[in-house]
């Protein structure tokens, strides 16, 4: 993968890592599914009126919008609202790397190289080191919801790959149009109309800033870049970059939310970066040794 693409992937991971902090702050004042609905509403409108629909089937647009918007973020926002620490959520969500590589191998016949397998195993060890001291902090329910959310992200990654080389900005904007109504309906059902109306009428500047961050840099820009990279490189090459997300998430959670960071988490973050580096540069290193 070209260096420019690698740097773009790293920028995306920083944006995503900090988004867990923003979600934690947002669900403190707004029902989680309503916050998710607002995120995708503003990601889609008014951009959908100016950006052409991507040249791919409606099934791809709807499937991506459902698995990314409703399944992944509906579950993630709810899990964080129910007590999942933002730092731990940023770690567990990276199981999407392994779900994506697994789904790509089963459904698209993509086979990861030896260096990617080794890099994934090393990074997976880093995830275990980070998650271990916090495993009981968020409770079993929120933890399992986050794991299912990461699997939904893996499915969304496969859908974006199957969509092919389309206009990824248009793909993200139009697929974002799928999520708001189901998420709003779920919020009305679970939280009740009175709670939803009260939350909308009491929205302050902090809530609007959270929605703006989640809608634009996190959704439109970051997922657009991510889908672009997945359309041009194998899943096993792109998805391991997401293993840097918990590093940014933990640092942001520590500095902004005051969540305690255990020494073992710092070690785990370093191991993740090592695994990521081997995934990116391992083939070159192996090639030089062979020569």
The pair of structure tokens assigned to 268 is: 């785990």
Q: Give the predicted TM-score (pTM) of the model.
A: 0.82
Higher pLDDT, 279 or 58: 58
Average pLDDT for residues 145-165, to the nearest whole number? 87
pLDDT band at 291 (very low <50, low <70, confident <90, very high): very low
Average pLDDT for residues 143-163, to the nearest whole number? 88
Q: What percent of the chain has pLDDT over 70?
A: 91
pLDDT at 114: 77
Give the integer Cα–Cα distance in Å for 122 and 268: 10
Structurally, how many domains does the chain consist of?
Answer: 1
Cβ atoms of 78 and 24 closer than 8 Å: no
pLDDT one-digit tens code per residue, 70-124: 999 999 999 999 988 888 888 888 777 778 877 887 887 777 777 777 877 887 7
pLDDT at 139: 64
Higher pLDDT, 55 or 165: 55
Q: Where are the alpha helices (DSSP H) in 132-219?
A: 140-163, 168-176, 180-191, 193-201, 205-215
Q: How far is CA 47 from CA 44, 83, 169, 207, in A?
A: 6, 34, 10, 21
The pair of structure tokens assigned to 234 is: 């194998």
pLDDT at 21: 93
* Angle 263-270-138 from CA coordinates, rounded to 5°: 55
* Angle 195-201-203 from CA coordinates, rounded to 5°: 100
pLDDT at 189: 95
DSSP, collapsed to helix, strand or coil, labels residue 161 as helix
pLDDT one-digit tens code per residue, 171-211: 889 999 999 999 999 999 999 999 999 999 988 888 899 99
| Mean pLDDT for all residues in the chain | 84
Q: How many CA atoms lie within 13 A of 224 on its CB side?
A: 19
Backbone angles phi, psi at 229, to 5 degrees: -65, -40
pLDDT one-digit tens code per residue, 26-54: 998 899 999 999 999 999 988 899 888 88
pLDDT one-digit tens code per residue, 227-268: 788 778 876 678 778 778 888 888 888 888 887 767 777 787
Cβ atoms of 257 and 97 closer than 8 Å: no
The pair of structure tokens assigned to 118 is: 């080794």
pLDDT at 46: 87
Q: Find the length of the chain.
A: 291
Containing structural domain, residue 139: 3-290
pLDDT at 89: 84
């Amino acid at each position: 993968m070209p260096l420019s693409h690698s740097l773009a992937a790293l920028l995306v991971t920083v944006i995503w890592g900090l988004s867990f902090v923003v979600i934690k702050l947002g669900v403190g004042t707004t029902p989680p599914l309503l916050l998710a609905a607002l995120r995708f509403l503003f990601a889609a409108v008014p951009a959908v009126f100016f950006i052409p629909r991507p040249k791919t089937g409606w099934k791809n647009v709807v499937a991506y919008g459902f698995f990314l918007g409703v399944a992944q973020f509906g579950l993630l926002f709810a899990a964080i609202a129910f007590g999942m620490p933002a730092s731990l959520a940023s770690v567990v969500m990276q199981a999407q790397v392994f779900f994506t590589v697994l789904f790509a191998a089963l459904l698209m016949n993509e086979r990861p190289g030896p260096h990617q397998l080794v890099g994934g195993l090393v990074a997976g060890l880093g995830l275990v080191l980070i998650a271990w001291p916090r495993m009981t902090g968020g409770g079993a329910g929120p933890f399992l919801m986050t794991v299912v959310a990461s699997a939904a992200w893996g499915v969304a990654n496969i859908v974006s790959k199957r969509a092919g080389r389309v206009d990824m900005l248009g793909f993200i904007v139009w697929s974002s149009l799928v999520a708001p109504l189901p998420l709003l309906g779920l919020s009305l059902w679970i939280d009740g109309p009175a709670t939803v109306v009260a939350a909308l009428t009491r929205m302050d500047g902090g809530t609007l800033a959270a929605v703006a961050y989640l809608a634009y840099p996190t959704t439109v820009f970051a997922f657009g870049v991510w889908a672009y990279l997945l359309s041009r490189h194998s899943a096993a090459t792109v998805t391991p970059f997401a293993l840097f997300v918990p590093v940014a998430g933990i640092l942001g959670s520590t500095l902004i939310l005051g969540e305690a960071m255990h020494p073992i988490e710092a070690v785990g973050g370093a191991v993740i970066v090592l695994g990521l580096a081997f995934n990116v540069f391992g083939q070159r290193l192996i090639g030089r040794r062979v020569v």
